[in-house]
Amino acid sequence: MTIDIICPLYNAEEYILSLHKSLNMQKKVKINNIVYILTECKDNTEKLLKENKIPYKKIKREDFSHSLTREQEAMKSKADIVCFITQDVVIESDLWLYHLTKNISKGKVAAAFSRQISKYNNIEKYTREKNYPSESRIVSKKDIKNLGLNTFFFSDASGAIDLKVYKRLQGYDSKHLPTNEDMYFAYKLIMNNYKISYEADSVVYHSHNFSLKELYNRYKLTGLFFKENSYLDEYGTNSAGGGLAKYVLKRALKEGNIKVLIRFPFDMGARFIGMKVGKR
């Protein structure tokens, strides 16, 4: 099956060349097109794209939308599968895309997402462990009772979707979603009786060192998303967050990670307060 890869770019000078190289080294797949959408910025991303003859599309800052920018390009695609990635994922395996899309190609699932690992020894290391375990799985509507909100867990930092299904379900319904567009679509997939696979063999490294202010702002947007999509609350948004916090604390204590233990109450507090403010 043919695959189009869609990747938004913004201030991506430190990522773009290595990312492009890693996409072009993929084996056992047929990449139809790699679409970079560059939001106007002040670094050297555009210069590097031009110098290396890498095709791209450019949009104004006010025109960027996490949902609409992806949706507009996906709807133009003629491929069988659309793969969404973010500029800051690090791909080391030449079989990353094969493992990501194999169950879509076999018709077993309508969407799939990769395992994400953090290279930093911070709280994100443990949240990645919890959300992206070492075992693959396939979820469907019947798993809602046991998994709750996690049934709709999906990530377009490295995720793929059967394009016919994406178009049939009308993507993100032409909505401007400031965050969690991947969960929005995953909910639609599951409730329309499609399956989603988590592919642990498809690995990307995705690492951040967010400040408390950045965490607060991210979770404020997440809270706003849940306010605008309040039907998701019935699946246990609070219990999902609580379970993640308990896992992080348990793992940090086990490893004696002092830096994480000191940061923990402030980090979780920024997330909790941001979510609450967003929901108001």
What is the domain partition of the chain in residue ranges? Answer: 2-205, 212-279
Distance CA 179, CA 198 (A): 20
Q: What percent of the chain has a predicted confidence (pLDDT) above 70?
A: 99
| Residue 238, pLDDT above cutoff 70 | no
| Residue 221, pLDDT above cutoff 80 | yes
* Confidence band of 233 (pLDDT split at 50, 70, 90): confident
Determine the Cα angle at 164 with ends 163 and 167, to 5°.
85
| Residue 239, pLDDT above cutoff 80 | no
Beta bridge partners of 30: 2
Indicate the length of the chain as a whole number.
280
- Please tell me the predicted confidence (pLDDT) of residue 92: 97
Distance CA 1, CA 79 (A): 8
Residue 90 gets which letter from DSSP? B
Strands 81-85 and 137-139: unpaired
As a dihedral over the C-alpha atoms of residue 262, residue 263, residue 267, residue 269, rounded to 10 degrees, the angle is: 30
Distance CA 239, CA 234 (A): 11
Average pLDDT over residues 121-135: 95
pTM of this structure: 0.93
Q: Which amino acid is at 18?
A: S
Distance of CA 56 to the CA centre of its chain: 21
CATH class for the domain made up of 2-205: alpha beta
Determine the Cα angle at 158 with ends 206 and 225, to 5°.
90
| Residue 60, pLDDT above cutoff 80 | yes
Average pLDDT, the chain: 96
Average pLDDT over residues 200-221: 96
* Core vs surface per residue 131-167: b (16+ CB within 10 A) or e: bbeeeeeebeeebbeebbbbbbbbbbbbbbbbbebbe
Q: Do 151 and 144 touch, CB atoms closer than 8 A?
A: yes
Q: Do 73 and 141 touch, CB atoms closer than 8 A?
A: no
- 241-267: pLDDT as tens digits: 788 899 999 999 999 999 999 999 999
Q: Which of 216, 150, 240 is nearest to 187 (CA)?
A: 150
Q: Do 259 and 204 touch, CB atoms closer than 8 A?
A: no
If 0-12 CB within 10 Å is exposed, 13-18 middle and 19+ buried, where does residue 107 land? exposed
Distance CA 63, CA 236 (A): 33
Distance CA 273, CA 138 (A): 33
Average pLDDT over residues 40-57: 96
Distance CA 149, CA 101 (A): 24
Q: Do 149 and 206 touch, CB atoms closer than 8 A?
A: no
Distance CA 209, CA 67 (A): 24
Residue 10 gets which letter from DSSP? S
